[in-house]
Structure 1
Amino acid sequence: MKIKVGAAALLVSLVLTSLSGCAMTDAKDSDSPPFAGISTTSQATDATEKVSSELFDLIGLKGKATEPGPGVLECAGKDPEKFFTTFHSWTFTPASGRLDGVMERLKEELPKHGWKVVDFGPDTSKNKNLRITADNDAKKHSVKITHWAKENPPQLNMMVVSGCYQVPDGEKVQ
């Protein structure tokens, strides 16, 4: 798997900064993502894709998600050959064309599945899109869910990011 850079790197760095709630930060450096463990990039992206799949199921509606898979980026301030983070950005479009009450339901359901909601409310856009930011300490992932209610049809945008992984000894980030 290749490291994806450019606009995605900027987006993920902004999301990592905004997603790190109280529990998803290391005590030593609150601006960096938590240590997620030792893993190959392939295993870590598989884990992030699994988290996204679980979130898809929590939406509780029939619909379609965009296809792009997870990506890999550097962990800020760490050796880019040894440390990395994963991300998965995707959009959900409901089959019914409606997302009424889905954000409130997610706010209630996420904590039942190990997520701590750290932010809930309108964003700063002119549309005042409703968003949820949640951390899962056990899975070392965070998610930002934004309800684009004014889209036709309405959609949910999901940005899932992991903590910072380290590759096993003798390996490099792929």
Structure 2
Amino acid sequence: MEVRDIDAVKAEVEQTSSRILEIMALKGKVDDAGAMTSPCANYDSSEKVYRARHPWSVYQVPVAEVEKSMDRLRAGLPEKGWAIVMAGVDGSVAKSPQIVAESKGKEFAVDLRLLDERKYGDDPSLIEVTVESSCYRSE
């Protein structure tokens, strides 16, 4: 397993998020707390095996524009070297549209979900995005 600097991996995950935002071509407010690390499952904490995660969303956009953005992602991700491994609906009661994709070398994965205000009441429509790195060993 590759040994990586934590800050470098977090920066790469954030750069990957920026490229996904470009594909979305969605003008709205971006909620972005920045990338963080978490231990990888199936590893003992003493092994220092982590992944970087970057959860963010784009909101305050009409639902029709959010739906068009999901269409752009379905078409644009494969053009940019991503393999879509799931495109359908998630397991929530609202059956939110979801796309899960992996980068060509499987260095990154992305989970995109359209949360539709018509199904969630007062909350505005948004696209919820989580970009994750593959697991790596910290220095």
What TM-score results when the alignment is normalised by the length of structure 2?
Answer: 0.85
Q: Displacement of 1:160 after TM fit?
A: 1.0
Counterpart residue type for residue 163 of structure 1: S
Within the candidate set 85, 101, 104, 1:134 is matched to 101
Equivalents in 2 of 1:142, 1:106: separation in Å?
A: 14
Q: 1:75-94 to 2 correspondence within 5 Å?
A: 75-81=40-46, 82-94=48-60
More helix by share: 2
Residue 9 (structure 2) pairs with residue 44 (structure 1) = yes
3-state SS in 1 of match to 2:88: strand
Q: Which structure dedicates a bigger proportion of its chain to strand?
A: 2
Of 96-105 and 141-150, deviating more is 96-105
Give the match for residue 20 of structure 1. none
Out of 40, 52, 69, the residue aligned to residue 34 of structure 2 is 69
Counterpart for residue 32 of structure 1:
none
Residues 55, 94 of structure 1: alpha-carbon distance in 2 compared, 3 angstrom cutoff: farther
Which sections of structure 2, spanning at least 5 residues, go unmatched? none
Q: Which residue of 1 aligns with 2:80?
A: 113
Residue 156 (1) aligns with residue 122 (2): no
Q: How many residues align?
A: 133
Residues 1:102 and 2:69 aligned together: yes
Written as runs of structure 1 = structure 2, the 5 A alignment for 1:3-14 is none
Aligned alpha-carbon RMSD (Å):
1.9
Percent identity between the aligned chains? 26
Instruction: Name stretches of at least 5 consecutive residues in structure 1 with no aligned partner.
Output: 1-34, 169-174
Q: Which runs of 4+ in 1 moved over 4 A?
A: 94-97
